[in-house]
Amino acid sequence: MRRLSVLALLMVLFGGGPSAADEPRTLTVLTWGGAYEQSQRAAMFAPFTQATGIEIETVRYNGGIEALRDHLAQPGAPEWDVVDMIRADARAACAQGLLEPFDPDILADSPDGVAPEEDFIDGALGDCAIVQLVFATVIAYNDDAFPGEKPRTVADFFDTERFPGKRALRKAPVGMLEWALRSYGVPRSQLYDLLSTERGMRLAFRRLDSIRDDIIWWRGGAEPVEQLTSGHAAMATGFNGRFFHAQVIEGEPISIIWDGALLEYNSWAILKGTADKDIAEKFIRFATGAERLGDMANRISYGPARKSAQRRVGLHVTTGVPMRAHMPTTDRHMATAIRKDDRWYSQTEALRQRRFEAWLALGEKQSAKADQAKSEGPRND
Amino acid sequence: MLRLESAYRIVIMSLVGLTVGAAASLASLAFIDALFWLNNALLVSAYSRIQYEAQPALLAAATILVPTVGGLIVGQIVSRWVAERRGLGPPDAILAVQTRESPPSFKSGVASTLAALVSLGCGASVGQYGPLVYLGTLIGGLAQRLNLMVRDLQSVAIACGVAAAISTAFNAPIAGLVFAHEVILRHYSLRAFAPVTVAAATGYVIANVILQRPPLFLVEFAGVEHGHEFVLFAVQGVLAAYLAAGFMGLIAFAGRMAQRLRLPAPVRPGLAGLVLGLVALQLPEVLGVGKETLRFATIEGAFTVDELAVLVAAKLAVTAMCVGFGFVGGVFSPALLIGVMAGALFGMVWPLILPLAHSGIVPYAICGMMAVTSPVIGAPLTTILIVFELTRNYDLTIAAMVAVVFSNLVAYRIFGRSLFDVQLAARGFDLSLGRDKAILGVRSVAENVSQDYIAMRADESLGALTARLNAVGRSEAVVIGADGVFQGHIRLQDVVDEPPETPLGAVARKDELVFRETTTLWEAMDRIRDFVGEAVPLVDARGRVMGVVPEGAVIQGYMEAVHDLRREENAAA
């Protein structure tokens, strides 16, 4: 009897009590779809369900914090539990009270017993989120679009004379400003200082203006790959793992320009007020373990955020492609990478959005005027 | 024995280079970090201002209040703790090294550095390199206290500190090395060269290799494409010289204006801060060191011609005001900024006048930057090397070289070698004719005074004088009044025809050469040229005779000083 109660206590402690086993619970995870979500399903979600019996449901998320704000504004308890979000967004969401505070004690030690504070990369532990992987937003191009000279630099993205063709850009003021300014030769270390000035912003948008007619927009991470492979775009910005998947696993004619790769961090966070905080924490502990992170990195080329997992990066699980060379964190890629300044991002959220929308509206006005001029043209003749 | 001595010297000098270099380098990094921290905390930097872009009233208040309050604090620090009642900088380093006198006290130095930090932290339009040079001087000056029994230790240690500070701040060790020689030491002896090189390299290693600081200024530039552009660089150099001279003249003018204002000295920087803040409301570019503006000036299309012209004028005016009204800081960074904008302006304007091909504004911006800066700090070689080390671009360096040389030539004619030298000259230390004159100009002839002379009272008779002179075998005497005041000078050969009962006061010659306490060795040498007697009387401020200076002693003093200099300049180890 006594032994049984100890067992029962243990089961309650570890969250796998009889009641939980009786009524199946599900965890709702917001994540990014496509090859990335597939990799997560194989490396994290399925093993978690297998280990705990808890099902994972995913909801499509394209970044930003409006989606979270809108969801929390709805009456009743939130339906979403865990969010896979970019660190800058997590900081902004945390500051606005959209996330639960993060308890670092839930994290597991490395397999050889190194404490998480040591094992995770610097700056991984946030107030509301834990960084799990490093990814890069990069520029890629369709090899078929440039049979001769290949584009190599960020500046080439804006050079539609030498490298004609449509440019697929994310419809959000993320990355585009840095690249625009970088194309003027501004050193990587000075980008955010210059973007903090009115003049810097103006220069960046002026550069974007010069390719305005060639831009096609994307929102979800899978779209730029499709735009490139379908031939709709000659160059596209996008997440490096998606391009890796299309290029290496699916054999599409896509090449990545690593110059100016924007390094960012994905982190796990728990939505404010969720009823399943206990299993959300259990999931984060599981998904950030060295083994799961290492497995993830051998499926899609995103760098794990803990050292014990980095040592597990080897060959791709199905094709056997060596993964290290494709990681955004290899020395060769780091040498020209732009480290995204999260602090700047969270401080300039409203400003960037406002400037970007104004710029879009200006373009619409201009094209409307051009259309009007065209339609008025014949009448004058 | 001699070998052991020089081995000791080599070891000590190298260790001094290493320790002073490391300390100056770390202190410089700490200074720069503290400065950036203040700039961010006080909403001076663009990076910190952008987070309040939705609250323009708060930004405007900070823009006006921060420099004003900062100026008042600077005024207090300087008036309370700096004995010299002004910011210390490169001129003080030059003076200490050239005259081998002690630099201002450690306490003054620390207070001046603190005042510079507050000035720069609050966005005053002054430079960071002047204070960094003084920080190096301060640390180098400490070596003298160690009593290491090595000649020229103070000069070399100060040069080491300065070289390490510049090497660290610019990530440019060669420029640091050359700056210490060109501006501070003003000679190239191997004895100084070796430890200064060690210090500059140490600064570089600490900044670059250990702490991995990003380079201060990177420029991507393909190259000068057209030969005729070199002529334009030379023309630009000449124009830059006038701009530099104007800048220096304006600083001097602002200093005189400040003196004339009926405002206590500690309040003056506050007033300058207020005016600066008001200007910055319209032109935020004038605030602080202006790193962003420095970069924008090398980007085609970042500024229009009008904007550049207005900014050059505004930066000139507010910098002169800030320096003249007592903010503590240098003139190097403002000169860089004024130069780069003027250079970009030149690069944009000449193609409108001359229909010739050109290679964009980058080379003109860089040439302008260096051509304005080098005459201000009096360091053509250093500025050329800074371009080379910062851009690692050969073409750009050659272009800058042409502009820098012409600018220095012209600016020397119209203003002087550098702002530092002109400021020192105003303090009575003139380096324009070289180190010899400067050092002889601060050594007092009183050091060579002799008490071996005959003094007679004015009411004594000529007969008594003759008897006394004959007894000691001399021909000259000094005549003094009852209070010891100099009454004249008598030479035996001039009075042979006078009756022996004549009182000395009636025949003493007063128009003969007399040295005063303040007479320098340089003046003494100049004045004894036509002197025919044995010794020149030396009198104090109240006219009392302190002794005589024999002609031979003046020449000996001169020879010693010059010999000392030559020995220092040619010392091997």
User: A235-270, pLDDT tens digit by residue?
Assistant: 999 999 999 999 998 999 999 999 999 999 999 999
B1 confidence band (pLDDT: 50, 70, 90): low
Distance in angstroms (rounded) separating the CA atoms of residues B401 and B379: 12
**A245 CB-near residues (< 8 Å, 6+ apart):** A35, A225, A300
Which chain A residue is nearest to residue B284, measuring alpha carbons? A197
Report the greatest alpha carbon distance in chain A: 100
pLDDT beyond 70 at B273: yes
Report pTM.
Answer: 0.84
Contact B291 A187 (CB under 8 A): no
C-alpha to C-alpha distances, A237 to A73, A171, B415, nearest whole angstrom: 32, 11, 56
Contact residues, chain A, for B45 at CB < 8 Å: 193, 196
pLDDT at A23: 56
DSSP for B273-288, written as a single string: HHHHHHHHHH-GGGSS
Whether residue A167 contacts residue A157, with contact meaning beta carbons closer than 8 Å, is answered with: yes
Which chain A residue is nearest to residue B295, measuring alpha carbons? A186
Cα torsion B357, B362, B363, B365 to 10°: value is 120
CATH code reported for the domain at B1-209 = 1.10.3080.10
ipTM summary value = 0.82
Contact B295 A348 (CB under 8 A): no
Whether residue A254 contacts residue A44, with contact meaning beta carbons closer than 8 Å, is answered with: no
Interface of B with A (CB under 8 A): 45-47, 49-51, 53-54, 214-215, 218-220, 284, 291-292, 295-296, 298-303
User: A175-185, pLDDT tens digit by residue?
Assistant: 999 999 999 99
DSSP state of B253: H
pLDDT at B170: 87
β-pair partners for A56? A27
Token pair in block for residue B242: 């006038």
Computed from CA positions of residues B149, B150, B154, B159, in that sequence, does the dihedral angle turn out positive or negative? negative
pLDDT at B148: 76
Distance in angstroms (rounded) separating the CA atoms of residues A250 and B59: 53
Instruction: State which fold the B227-430 domain adopts.
Output: Clc chloride channel (1.10.3080)
Interface of A with B (CB under 8 A): 184-187, 189-190, 192-194, 196-197, 199-200, 203, 206, 344, 347-348, 350-351
* CB-based burial label for B195 (10 Å; 0-12, 13-18, 19+): buried
For the stretch B260-265, contacts whose Cβ atoms lie closer than 8 Å and that sit 24 or more positions apart, written own/partner, are B265/B75, B265/B78, B265/B79, B265/B85, B265/B326
**B96 CB-near residues (< 8 Å, 6+ apart):** B102, B103, B137, B141, B154, B155, B158
User: A137-162, pLDDT tens digit by residue?
Assistant: 999 999 999 999 999 999 999 999 99
- Three-class SS string for B208-245? HHHCCCCCCCCCCCCCCCCCCHHHHHHHHHHHHHHHHH
pLDDT beyond 50 at A123: yes
Whether residue B158 contacts residue B93, with contact meaning beta carbons closer than 8 Å, is answered with: yes
DSSP H/E element including B298: none
> Given B219, B292, B300, which is nearest A194 (Cβ)?
B292
Contact residues, chain B, for A200 at CB < 8 Å: 46, 292, 296
Report, as an integer, the average pLDDT of B326-331: 94
Instruction: State which fold the B440-561 domain adopts.
Output: CBS-domain (3.10.580)
Phi/psi for B544 (5° steps) reads: -80, 145
A327 confidence band (pLDDT: 50, 70, 90): very high
Report, as an integer, the average pLDDT of B407-416: 92
Residue A343, classed as helix, strand or coil, is: helix
Within a 13 Å sphere around the CA of A5, how many CA atoms are in the beta-carbon half?
2
User: What distance, in Å, lies between the first and last C-alpha atoms of chain B?
Assistant: 15
Report, as an integer, the average pLDDT of B506-514: 83
pLDDT at B99: 83
pLDDT at A7: 46
User: A6-23, pLDDT tens digit by residue?
Assistant: 444 444 444 444 444 455
Domain(s) of CATH 3.10.580.10: residues in chain B: 440-561
Phi-psi group of A270: left, alpha or beta (phi > 0 → left; psi -120 to 50 → alpha; rest → beta): beta
Token pair in block for residue B25: 């380098």
A289 confidence band (pLDDT: 50, 70, 90): very high
Interface mutation target, options B39, B55, B292, chain A, most CBs of A under 10 Å: B292
> Given B50, B296, B303, which is nearest A351 (Cβ)?
B50
Distance in angstroms (rounded) separating the CA atoms of residues B445 and B449: 7
Of B228, B175, B218, B223, give the one whose Cα is nearest residue B363.
B223
Report, as an integer, the average pLDDT of B23-41: 95
DSSP H helical ranges for B145-228? 153-170, 173-179, 190-204
pLDDT beyond 90 at A58: yes
Amino acid in the structure at residue A321: V
Phi-psi group of A241: left, alpha or beta (phi > 0 → left; psi -120 to 50 → alpha; rest → beta): alpha
DSSP state of B302: S
Contact A190 B45 (CB under 8 A): no
Whether residue B283 contacts residue B311, with contact meaning beta carbons closer than 8 Å, is answered with: yes
A376 confidence band (pLDDT: 50, 70, 90): low
**Percent above pLDDT 90 for chain A:** 76
Contact residues, chain A, for B296 at CB < 8 Å: 194, 197, 199-200, 203
Of A225, A293, A243, A269, give the one whose Cα is nearest residue A30.
A269
Cα torsion A52, A54, A59, A65 to 10°: value is -70
Domain(s) of CATH 1.10.3080.10: residues in chain B: 1-209, 227-430
B9 confidence band (pLDDT: 50, 70, 90): confident
